[in-house]
Structure 1
Amino acid sequence: MGIKEMFSLARVPSILLLGVVYVTYVLIGGVVFWKLEGDLGQKDISLLLLNKKNLLMKYTCLNQEGLEAVAQVVQDASKAGISLKGNHTSDGFWKFTSSAVFAATVVTTIGYGNISPRSTAGQIFCVFFALFGIPLNLVVLNRVGKYMLVIERNISDFLEGKTRRRKCTRFFVHLVSYLSGAVLFFIMPMTVFQLHEGWTHSQAIYYCFITLSTIGFGDFVADSNPDKVYPEWYSVLMASWIFFGLAWLALLINHSIDILERLNTHFKQWWGGQKQGEGPGNAEGDNPDTQIEEDDKIEKPPITQ
């Protein structure tokens, strides 16, 4: 008995298979990050301890308690967005432009973590602001993404009428759309961040993806360095880039989800010994996975302008 027949007899649910793939993927990622960053983290710890020892030896009047007090001042200044270099003062994080960008990171669930409300009233308002703002943001991004898709389909239909080549035309339109989005939301912002933040190419690209995917680690945050003076249009450009970039990346991720769903259906049919021409009256008619796939086939209503 072969592997195909064994899977066919076992009738392994696709949700179980997807769960195994998901857990395996996460564990493999954990191992890779552990190997790539673990040794570097130990070196960083050793270097910090050495710098601490040298600092206490250089400044003999500074003991452990004094060092902790200085570290607390530096940490508080960093949270407030205040620079301790020189004698100049700054407005901190809570300017109008920075506050507007913070509001955008709340409703988009990016949440860098470099800035957060500290007052009780601000924390309570943040809860209710996010409670209504996150669904509103999802609805707006979904609509903007659909309009992007409509524009892409209209261009594709127009070119199909001229060339009479459906598959080649759709592939070309998708390719141009992806490349244009990559240039508009990754390459161009990378150049801007290099000029105004002083980041490398890899750091800028890394920040673009971490932001637009709403992961938001907070290790790199644009428009947040208290030692730099940013132009007034910088925050507006940031907010616009985040909004439209989220819509474009969400559309790209939806295409990826569609590809994974097709692969899942293909593998399930192969393992279950199904044929494409079989009707619904087979042994898997009551399978919840089959029911989900049937529900997914229901056409969505057309988009109205």
Structure 2
Amino acid sequence: MQFVPRLPTILLLGVVYVLYLLIGGAVFWTLEGEHVGENLQTLREEKSRVLRKYTCLDQDSLEEVAQLVRSASKYGLSLKSNSTADGFWKFTSSAVFAATVVTTIGYGNISPSTMYGQIFTVFFALIGIPLNVVVLNKIGKYMLNIEKKFCEFVAKKTNRKKCVRVLIHSVSFVLLAVLYFVAPVLIFQQYEGWTHAEAFYYCFITLSTIGFGDYVADDNPDRHYPEWYGSIMAAWIFFGLAWLAVLINHSIDLLEHFNEYLKQKREGNADTTDATQEKDSTKGQ
């Protein structure tokens, strides 16, 4: 019986969730569908042009070249200079790959190709993903606790608790947003050659652990990266994930509090209605 009253809320959330996905699909379909069609037409024309220009190439030869390009991309080989991406499948890149597994970012730019590597990835992820969630939550709570203690310290000095909390939380949010989004955008623009929009897009896709893999930093074999670049990247991803986890938890708490507020308001209105009806009934008697 306790479960029955909750059923409408669950159904409502399910309907909202499905509608949200369908609306998102419709928007992506509208924004990207026509663009893909144009690109496919351009590629067909470019393919015909290449075959006409290089008469020694037939369909089979073109497929061989395409396979070579795909393989070179998979293993980080530059077709311009025969060089590979710095540290590709060496210890540093392997450690970064391990991090993308446990954080569920999964760019897809590199992946294990041996049977033993694939099997190890499965067991490594089974243990590493829960461990990563625990560590990030602990780090996020620690960061939040430092902020709360600083708020309490300043509030005691000023005797304006609510104003101080709002101000410090706002300043903290702005500073961390600059640290994890604005500053990386400038760095990626310089060392990756991306636009501001592409760099910001990469930052969000990475820190939200979506990880499409269409943009991957420190992965271009035709670019030279400084030695500190990889370490800064790792630190940015780790603490950025912790910070974003705090923001997501805050958002969930706000939605739950808002839901509780609406529930209490409905119950209060129902009690008021019952009391009014009871009062009117007494007067009638």
TM-score norm. by structure 1 comes to: 0.83
Aligned partner (choices 191, 196, 203) of residue 196 of structure 1: 191
Comparing 63-72 and 171-180, the one that deviates more: 171-180
Q: After TM superposition, what 4+ stretches of structure 1 lie above 6 angstroms from structure 2?
A: none
Q: 2:235 aligns with which of 217, 240, 244?
A: 240
- One of 135, 140, 148 as aligned partner of 1:140: 135
Q: Does 2:244 correspond to 1:275?
A: no
Report the Cα distance in structure 1 between the residues aligned to 2:86 and 2:169, rounded to whole angstroms.
45
Greater helix content = 2
Residue 14 of structure 1 contacts residue 268 of structure 1 at CA under 8 Å; is this kept in 2?
A: no
Q: Of 118, 131, 134, which aligns to 2:113? A: 118
Alignment: residue pair count = 267
- Cα 1:166/1:52, change in 2 over 3 Å: same
| Match of residue 38 from structure 1 | 33
Which letter does structure 1 place at the counterpart of 2:203? C
Structure 1 distance, partners of 2:161, 2:169, is 12
1:21 aligns with 2:16: yes
How far apart, CA to CA, are the structure 2 residues paired with 1:90 and 1:191? Answer: 22
Structure 1's 97 and 46: CA in aligned 2 closer, same or farther, altered over 3 A?
same
Q: What's the CA shift for 1:264?
A: 2.5
Aligned-residue identity in percent: 64
Matches within 5 A, 1:161-176: 161-176=156-171
Question: Shift of residue 90 of structure 1?
Answer: 5.7
- Find the counterpart in structure 2 of residue 150 from structure 1: 145
Match for residue 99 of structure 1? 94
Return the alpha-carbon distance in structure 2 between the equivalents of residues 204 and 89 of structure 1.
Answer: 23
- 1:60 paired residue among 51, 55, 60: 55
Bigger shift: 35-44 or 258-267? 258-267
Q: Deviations over 1:76-128 (max 9, x none)?
A: 00000110113556667212221111111111110001110111121122112
Deviations 1:41-68 (A, max 9, x none): 1111111111001111111110111100
**Structure having greater relative contact order (Cα 8 Å, sep ≥ 6):** 1
Q: Deviations over 1:221-266 (max 9, x none)?
A: 0011111122222111111111000000000111111122223333
- Note if contact 1:82-1:91 (Cα within 8 Å) is conserved in structure 2: no
Q: Could you list the runs of 5+ residues in structure 1 that have no partner in the other structure?
A: 1-9, 279-305
Amino acid paired to 1:161: K
